[in-house]
Amino acid sequence: MEQEKNIILVTWDFSEKSECALEHAILAAKRIKHDIGLVHIVKKDSEAKSAEERIRGAISEKFSQLEQKPQIIIRHGNIFSTITDLANELGAKLVFMGTHGIKGMQKFLGSWALKVIAHTKVPFIVVQEKPSRDTYKNIVIPITFRKENKECINWVNYFSRFFGSHFHIFKAKHSDPNFVKGLDSNIFFLNKFFTSKGISFEIAEAPSESNFVLEAVKYAAKIEADAILIMVTKDIGFADYVLGAHEQYIIANEARLPVICINPKPPKLGGSFSASGG
């Protein structure tokens, strides 16, 4: 299929969370001038027609004010691979997805949202509530010693350009010399990059070494952030889900803030990455 360069996707399962995701996508689409595609996954091809009719009815009833109706994309498959495959195939810029958090069996097998996100080339914005503002003005980026933290720059320019974002770098507190070295390297790199690009930012440090995820969420809630941007664990696997990859708890954060999830990939730091806005 020919790549559709001007589309953002919304996962749709007829839930209230899907409607929240669509409302976020509508606001984003106005800023980046992209079309919206509603993605629904069916287990059987024979279910596709009735699903499309049901989606059209829901959109007409609850989103009748839209000047341009979203495209409806029905695919046969499973949510854990088909959505990401489609996002990569279409060259979508963003995917919006609603989540109920970590409930039931997810507490033992990991976040379903994280399983959907893993391995995609496209950032997912995972939401729990309707948008409270029309832009992602303040974005918190938790930073640890991990090298892949540096790869957030591939999308920082994008959000700065289209959403006028101000970034709050929230760095972990480490006492281990090796961790401190890695953290200092990441902060130096990000400081230099943000400054050279004229991107608005500030740096804050976690008050202690304990529970960095909780501290990052508390900080984001305190400053009334519009979103938290995280790098997903590189080469995430089943053990990460079961043991509790830190990002799944940020995705299901109790402050119910949107979370921008980005998968690490080979860095393209020479300015050729299209999301940098030139």
Which amino acid is residue 252, in one-letter code? A
Over range 76-105, report the average pLDDT. Answer: 80
Distance CA 70, CA 51 (A): 15
Q: Tokens in use for 31?
A: 């800023």
CA–CA dist 120, 41 (Å, integer): 17
Q: What is the mean pLDDT of residues 143-155?
A: 90
Q: Who wins on pLDDT, 214 or 234?
A: 214
Statement: residue 245 has pLDDT above 80: no
Using one digit for the tens of pLDDT, what is the confidence trace for 136-145? 999 999 999 9
Tens of pLDDT, residues 179-216: 999 999 999 999 999 999 999 999 999 999 988 989 99
Angle (CA) 81 247 24, round 5°: 70
CATH of domain 130-278: 3.40.50.620
Answer whether residue 276 shows pLDDT above 60: no
Backbone angles phi, psi at 37, to 5 degrees: -120, 125
- Specify the pLDDT at position 118: 72
- Confidence label for 69 from pLDDT (cuts 50, 70 and 90): confident
Four-residue CA torsion sign, 276, 131, 248, 86: negative
- Nearest to 40, CA basis, from 78, 92, 93: 78
Query: Is the per-residue pLDDT at 234 higher than 70?
Result: no
* Distance from C-alpha of 224 to C-alpha of 247, rounded to nearest angstrom: 20
Q: Is the pLDDT of residue 163 over 90?
A: yes
Residue 225: band (very low, low, confident or very high) from pLDDT cuts 50, 70, 90:
very high
Give the mean pLDDT of 211-230.
95
1-98 against 130-278: fold identical: yes
Q: Which fold has domain 1-98?
A: Rossmann fold (3.40.50)
List the chain domain ranges.
1-98, 130-278
| φ, ψ dihedrals at 88, nearest 5° | -65, -40
Closest CA to 250 of 119, 112, 105, 101: 101
Instruction: Give whichever of 1-5, 67-71, 194-198 has the largest mean pLDDT.
Output: 194-198
Mean per-residue pLDDT for 155-162?
93
DSSP per-residue letters across the chain: ----SSEEEEE--SSHHHHHHHHHHHHHHHHHT-EEEEEEEESSGGGHHHHHHHHHHHHHHH-TT-SSPPEEEEEES-TTTHHHHHHHHHT-S-EEEE---S-TTHHHH--HHHHHHTT-SS-EEEESS--SSSS--EEEEEE-S-GGGGGGHHHHHHHHHHH--EEEEEE----SHHHHHHHHHHHHHHHHHHHHHT--EEEEE-SSSS-HHHHHHHHHHHTT-SEEEEEPPTT--HHHHHHT-HHHHHHT-TT---EEEE---S--TTS--GGG--
If you average pLDDT over residues 5-9, what whole number do you get? 87
